[in-house]
Chains A and B, each alone.
Chain A
Amino acid sequence: MTEPAGVEAEELVGQSSVWADAWKYLRTNPLFLIGLTVMVVMVAMALFPSVFALGADPTDCDLSMSRRPPSAEHWFGMDLQGCDYYANVIYGARTSVAIGVLTVIGVLVIGVLVGSLAGYFGGWADTVLARITDVFFGIPLFLGALVLLTVSAQRSVWTVSLALVVFGWMTAMRLVRSSVVSIRGADYVLAAQALGASSGRILVRHILPNALAPVLIYATIAVGTFISAEAALTYLGIGLQAPEISWGLQINVAQSLIGSSPHLLFFPALFLSVTVLGFILLGDALRDALDPKRR
């Protein structure tokens, strides 16, 4: 008998958790919808490039067609090797999205782990972990990744992501740490402690679900930042290497041909920028949605 009464009461107040409320706002926000569309299209492109490439093969090349401008047959023209540029740009989405997603997962794992331990236990653990974070913060993401990749023997999607994770986790750690600190003293946490719940259970079941919003917003925007950083590293010649297909590599090749074949620069640059923009819009909208004061 108590069950129906509870439901009734909930209906009276109107079920509006933070996330439900945020979703109500996001559904009608055009910037969020644009960002979401970009993200879905790019992820789909990364998963099923052959569908988007309409059957064109990025490695099917004909040197006599080198650097042809865009035409009805080859929408984005041909690259230096005479390969269909449209297919190449489409296939380039995979490496960019893979590096963005892998890096953010790594950053979230380290950031949440270190941040929640430092924030929850405080004291010595906090001091030591915060100092270590300071040291990593002393080295800018791009410079640190540059050195790590200079000395690493092989460069693949994995090593580039790893280099970005090693010098990119600190902001996530600080965000998690500060929200865990602010939640640690909440009544429901004290209640759980009084009931004899273990530290692990309190952290995972009670604190983290309520502490993750800021770091998730950051992570969304960070996907764009990391994709952009990969492209810049690859452009410098220290990220991915051929025969990998990546927008950074395409831009690198296009650089010296900018005068005669601007289309080689234009298309990968456009895809890269739109992807980064999509994640930024998504993150911005998410932040506004989760913080009603900003609306």
Chain B
Amino acid sequence: MTRFVLRRLLLTIPVLIGASLLIYAMVYALPGDPVRALAGDRPLSPAVQAQIRAEFNLDDPFPVQYAKYIWGLLHGDFGQDFSGRPVLEIIGQRLPVTVKLTIVAVFFEALFGIAAGILASLRRNSFFDNLVLISTTLLVSIPVFVLGFLAQFVFGFKLGWFPIAGVADGWVSYLLPGLVLASLSMAYVARLTRTAMLEAFSADYIRTARAKGVGRSRIVMRHAFRNSLIPVVTFIGADIGSLLGGAIVTESVFNLPGLGRAIFDAVRSQQGPVVVGIVTLMVFFYIFFNLVVDVLYAVIDPRIRYD
């Protein structure tokens, strides 16, 4: 067990270094002037350019540049916006909103996804089963921002059930965006649960339980469901990392002042360093959650360790 965890940890290090190197190379080492690329359409005065070159160590050789950049990241230096405000400060301010949104989304994803999956698996090929299959296919096809606008228009604007945008109403303002953000994963969770449950129902231990005279609800919840939960929980865990990326679109549609909205605003005002800083953090989150899930997977399911 310890050996597996250690190996998995060691394997993450090159990925982390590689990912940060990749992002760094994209921004600072691509042909062309990074200072100008980061500045976007606004021309910078030579003095400011020189200052930025010095600040980002662009006159050093590449390995030195990169080492200084990593050193900065490790000390929480994710860069600054054009008014000199550290990106870390923006992150500190915006992160709580994104975390709340992610919590709501994961809640919906797990609740509706698993419930729909179990119900569909209980009566295979029934009306409800087909409804789940069709609606999940539709959910997967509709891009998140289209779904966001649709939900905003119908439930916020026409029906007035939910706030249209912003976070003025506390947790209530997160319900609709959370549902939209969760939609894609919800469809996957429903399908995953359905498949896993169907597989479990045809397993020998279920037949044994039936033969022993165990009640139907106990078979479903205790025997089939608990064994089906492993792939589902793994998916949801790894999904937390990717929800942060999807939050860019959802937060922009619903105008939630989170990390994603900060990226959207930075893209609009062409503040490259802010975009890069926040994306780097999101990539680290993504890698981190994948690591946690892999380790937890091994804890839950002993068979995986022998791989």
Given contacts A151-B27, A153-B37, A258-B153, contact A135 B137 (CB under 8 A): no
Tell me the minimal C-beta distance from A227 to chain B in angstroms: 9
B193 in contact (CB, < 8 A): no
Partner of A251, one of B149, B152, B241: B149
Q: How long is the Cα–Cα vector from A131 to B152 in the complex, in angstroms?
A: 42
A232 in contact (CB, < 8 A): yes
Question: Which chain A residues in 234-271 approach chain B with CB under 8 Å?
Answer: 235-238, 251, 254-255, 258-259, 262, 265, 269
Q: Check A151–B149 contact: CB distance below 8 A.
A: no
Question: Interface extent on B, as a size class?
Answer: 35 or more
Q: How long is the Cα–Cα vector from A97 to B106 in the complex, in angstroms?
A: 33
Contact digits for A133-157, partner B, Cβ 8 Å, 1 yes 0 no: 0111111101110111011110000
- Residues of chain A contacted by B153 (CB below 8 angstroms): 258, 262, 265
- Residues of chain B contacted by A235 (CB below 8 angstroms): 145, 249, 252
B143 in contact (CB, < 8 A): yes
Q: How long is the Cα–Cα vector from A280 to B22 in the complex, in angstroms?
A: 31
Q: How long is the Cα–Cα vector from A237 to B146 in the complex, in angstroms?
A: 15
Contact digits for B159-178, partner A, Cβ 8 Å, 1 yes 0 no: 00000000000000000000
A231 in contact (CB, < 8 A): yes
- Residues of chain A contacted by B149 (CB below 8 angstroms): 251, 254-255, 258, 265, 269
Partner of A232, one of B26, B30, B145, B287: B145
Partner of A150, one of B15, B143, B275: B275
Question: Interface extent on A, as a size class?
Answer: 35 or more
B122 in contact (CB, < 8 A): no
Q: How long is the Cα–Cα vector from A272 to B30 in the complex, in angstroms?
A: 33
Pick the 7 closest A-B CB pairs, nearest first. Answer: A135-B18, A277-B141, A138-B19, A269-B146, A228-B143, A276-B141, A151-B37
Q: Which chain A residues have a beta carbon within 8 Å of chain B's beta carbons?
A: 131-132, 134-140, 142-144, 146-148, 150-153, 224, 228, 231-232, 235-238, 251, 254-255, 258-259, 262, 265, 269, 272-274, 276-277, 280-281, 284
22 interchain pairs, CB-CB under 8 A: A132-B18, A134-B11, A134-B18, A135-B22, A138-B16, A142-B246, A142-B248, A143-B286, A146-B248, A147-B279, A151-B26, A151-B27, A224-B141, A232-B143, A235-B249, A236-B248, A258-B153, A259-B157, A269-B149, A273-B143, A273-B146, A277-B137
